[in-house]
Amino acid sequence: MIKRTLREIEQMIEGSKTCKKDRNIVIHGVSIDSRSIKSGELFIPIKGEKFDGHNFILDAIESGAVATLWNKTEPIPPNANIPFILVEDTLVAIQNLAKSYSKQLGMKIIGITGSNGKTSTKDLLAGILSTKYKTGKTIGNLNNHLGVPLTILGFEEDTEIGIIEMGISELGEADLLSSIAEPDVAIITNIGEAHLETLYTRENIAKGKLEIINHLNKDGLFIYPGDEPLIKNEIKKLNPEFKIETFGQDPSNTYCPKLISIGENGLSFKLNESSPNVINLDLLGKHQVYNATAAIAAAKYFNISFEDIQIGLKNADITKMRSDLIHTETCTILDDSYKSNPASVLAALDTLYSLDKYNRKIVVLGDMLGLGDEEISMHREIGEKIDPSQIDYLFTIGPLAEHIAKGASPMIPKNNIKSCVDKEELINDLKKIVTKDSIVLIKASRDLHLENVVDALKSKDSSSKAI
């Protein structure tokens, strides 16, 4: 984490000023949350539409913060005996501080964006790069205008490569995040339907994701899915100095991965048909082949050997709730409950179909949020695309997910499909039908918190009786 004197912090943030008597105070890390402040940290109060972090400065100091930033426009309490740095805007200040810190460390930065697969690609790449370099990565969902600076400022001083996940919901966001991180490698995993509510079209989604290259090092590398015309056509209009590599099904791509085997224990593939090396991946789902391919392409840019690539993939620390296979006393759970959109639901269903040792397959799907005006038709289409020969029961939860059930209802027996009112009803219904040889896919947008359903099925007091 960042360790600097207030004098140094002042120099790293444009337009900032601190009292002379406080300039030798050393901060150890930063925080924007007074509730979780750690001793020695610099508190950065963020001002939003409905909150103002300046109201919690005293709480932060009492909890261990050694200093705080302070917007010049905010009144300073009389006789405030608090070390502080005056800035024009605390949000801009934390972003500038992160940018300065990154430059001081001299580390290489990899930026990753995409509608799906960002986190898996990040985790796989971190595993690979860690075989040769001191590597840092985004933790949790710190991938926005505040999360990216906090991620960078959390990197240790000896970090050689930082992997930054960049999430966007509006045009201009990736440009901002790219300007903070200034990546040496930029990856777009795919273009899906996430955030149609704010971006309206897939064309705008592609445009927004492409902003990641706006501040890409001219000697860097851009990796993207070459089968995606919305990106491919835009790249043709540019004359970039940076290197470009692509992945996808078309043989014209730099990498055209070929799946060799897939099962509950993972999958194996080659980067190209003619490649002599077989890559093993302990993850579920064919879609992970492309995530791994993008990660490997970036790793090769940093001269990682095939042997280390395989070791890194094997030892990668994968974020939970993304196609996790959980074996319990009563059933097996395919936990993909972290988020949901049409492309990721179809990928999860495809993963479920590939697991053939289970006698009963149960699908639980919740609302896919943020899809905009076409949300109802997109939910219905998911239902219509479900393969009835591959599942035994379908449960939905949430008002939008009811349309999944309606789309699937002509193909699935009436008694085997149900839209539940709440999680309690869903859990009770599931406990009535799960058996030891059952597998339950659980997937919905984050706001539904279906990990509660996963936890309920994992609990030892879950009853199990067949009907």
452 annotated ligand-binding residue: no
117 annotated ligand-binding residue: yes
CB 453 within 8 A of CB 423: yes
118 annotated ligand-binding residue: yes
The letter for the amino acid at 269 is F
Cα separation, 16 vs 14, in Å, equals 6
Q: What does the angle CA 264 – CA 266 – CA 271 come to, to the nearest 5 degrees?
A: 145
The tokens for 382 are 């998911």
151 annotated ligand-binding residue: no
SS (H, E, C) the chain: CCEEEHHHHHHHCCCCEECHHHCCCEEECEECCHHHCCCCCEECCCECCCCEHHHHHHHHHHCCCCEEEEECCCCCCCCCCCCEEEECCHHHHHHHHHHHHHHHHCCEEEEEECCCCHHHHHHHHHHHHCCCCCEEECCCCCCCCCHHHHHHHHCCCCCCEEEEECCCCCCCHHHHHHHHHCCCEEEECCCCCCCHHHHCCHHHHHHHHHHHHCCCCCCCEEEEECCCHHHHHHHHCCCCCCEEEEECCCCCCCECCEEEEEECCEEEEECCCCCCCCEEECCCCCHHHHHHHHHHHHHHHCCCCHHHHHHHHHHCCCCCCCCEEEECCCCEEEECCCCCCHHHHHHHHHHHHHCCCCCEEEEEEECCCCCHHHHHHHHHHHHHHCCCCCCCEEEEECCCCHHHHHHHCCCCCHHHEEEECCHHHHHHHHHHHCCCCEEEEEECCHHHCCHHHHHHHHCCCCCCCCC
370 annotated ligand-binding residue: no
115 annotated ligand-binding residue: yes
114 annotated ligand-binding residue: yes
Residues in binding site:
114-120
> Could you tell me which residues are annotated as the binding site for ATP?
114-120
